[in-house]
């Protein structure tokens, strides 16, 4: 066994021991199958939090795929705090993991820590969310959805839902986490799709931080202020489901009084689409684990990988045969 792999195993055992002694809710460090001990690759994964069912499914997908691929996974969950994600990445650098993957909570503020990973010779995969940086060499690739395309799909549905007449369409936007790639991309794509039609007015855009409770809170306030809302465009299902609760409490019929467009494709949202409470669901695939493991292995072997590996996201609308939609698994 080489000194490097002995060191790696030692720190992982210490890490696992510390986590179990602390009794904290984080995943234990090593989840690999233990085969080919010296060769087993170590992947450090810094998840951003557990804000939605989408995120829970994304985490499960990563953990399961690591087990299946025989990869030792060091998993940290940052509880929605960028500083925790940075700390986790620094710990992966100290442990000399083979590859680091992380879902950046916001787009900016990563250059320093990613420069440290680069200096340590550890490749980085961005998963689920992208970053803004002037130095493109700080990460190897991105795996996840194209958020601008998701916003465009949402806007295209809206244009079909309101065929030409002269009536103004008042839209409320529930924005995801401020500064996060999916929120910015979904907002940009949606605006791009509707920009040439002067009937569409975004009368209010408020963050619900991608969380159900905050979506409900935001919508409750918005409904007190506006009585002329035609459309809710929500950046994720969790906020949408909270907003639906707020509408029902206010005596508003979701999907009828207010047209609802949402993104993710959680089972609960698809069920609401079938029940007529949501009009359009744009899918965002959370099951990125297998692609992450496959790509990490290729990178470790020195293979070239595509710079952007996009998921294929579908759209489900009130006009489709909804019995065709497979069980979501999240």
> Per rule CB under 6 A, is residue 210 in the interface with ligand AHR?
yes
Q: How far is the CB of 284 from ligand AHR (least distance, A)?
A: 5
> Per rule CB under 6 A, is residue 264 in the interface with ligand AHR?
yes
Given 52, 61, 240, 295, the residue binding ligand AHR (CB under 6 A): 52
Q: Nearer Cβ to ligand AHR, position 123 or 182?
A: 182
> Per rule CB under 6 A, is residue 182 in the interface with ligand AHR?
yes
> Per rule CB under 6 A, is residue 75 in the interface with ligand AHR?
no
Closest CA to 320 of 146, 197, 80, 160: 160
Q: Nearer Cβ to ligand AHR, position 100 or 284?
A: 284
Q: Nearer Cβ to ligand AHR, position 237 or 277?
A: 237
> Per rule CB under 6 A, is residue 128 in the interface with ligand AHR?
yes
Q: Nearer Cβ to ligand AHR, position 31 or 127?
A: 127
The CA distance from 289 to 218, in Å, is: 32
Q: What sign results for the dihedral spanned by CA atoms 320, 322, 326, 327? A: positive
* Residues from 294 through 323 that contact ligand AHR (CB under 6 A): none
Bridge partners, residue 258, by sequence: 254
Q: How far is the CB of 120 from ligand AHR (least distance, A)?
A: 27
Q: Which residues bind ligand AHR (CB under 6 A)?
A: 51-52, 54-55, 128-129, 182, 210, 236, 238, 263-264, 284
């Amino acid at each position: 066994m080489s000194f490097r792999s002995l060191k790696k195993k030692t720190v992982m055992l210490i890490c696992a021991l510390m986590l179990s002694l602390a009794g904290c809710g984080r995943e234990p460090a090593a989840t690999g199958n233990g085969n080919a001990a010296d060769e087993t690759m170590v992947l450090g994964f810094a998840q951003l939090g557990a804000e939605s069912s989408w995120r829970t499914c994304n985490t499960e997908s990563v953990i399961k795929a690591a087990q299946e691929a025989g990869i030792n996974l060091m998993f940290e969950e940052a509880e929605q705090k960028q500083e925790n994600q940075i700390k986790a990445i620094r710990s992966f650098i100290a442990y000399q993991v083979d590859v680091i993957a992380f879902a950046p909570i916001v787009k900016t503020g990563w250059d320093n820590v990613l420069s440290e990973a680069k200096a340590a010779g550890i490749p980085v995969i961005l998963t689920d969310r992208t970053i803004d940086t002037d130095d493109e060499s700080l990460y190897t690739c991105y795996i996840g959805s194209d958020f601008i395309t998701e916003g465009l799909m949402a806007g295209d549905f809206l244009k079909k839902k309101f065929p030409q007449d002269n009536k103004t369409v008042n839209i409320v936007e529930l924005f995801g986490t401020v500064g996060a790639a999916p929120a910015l991309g979904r907002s940009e794509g949606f605006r791009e799709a509707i920009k040439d039609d002067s009937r569409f007015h975004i009368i209010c855009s408020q963050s619900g931080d991608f969380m159900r409770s905050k979506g409900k809170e935001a919508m409750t306030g918005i409904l007190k202020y506006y009585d002329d809302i035609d459309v809710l465009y929500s950046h994720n299902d969790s906020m949408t489901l909270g907003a639906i609760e707020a509408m029902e409490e206010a005596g508003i019929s979701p999907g009828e009084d207010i047209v609802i467009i949402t993104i993710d494709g959680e089972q609960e949202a698809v069920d609401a689409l079938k029940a007529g409470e949501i009009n359009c669901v744009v899918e965002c695939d959370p099951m990125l684990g297998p692609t992450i493991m496959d790509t990490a292995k290729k990178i470790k072997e020195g293979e070239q990988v595509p710079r952007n590996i996009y998921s294929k996201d579908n759209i489900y609308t009130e006009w489709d045969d909804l019995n065709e939609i497979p069980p979501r698994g999240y």
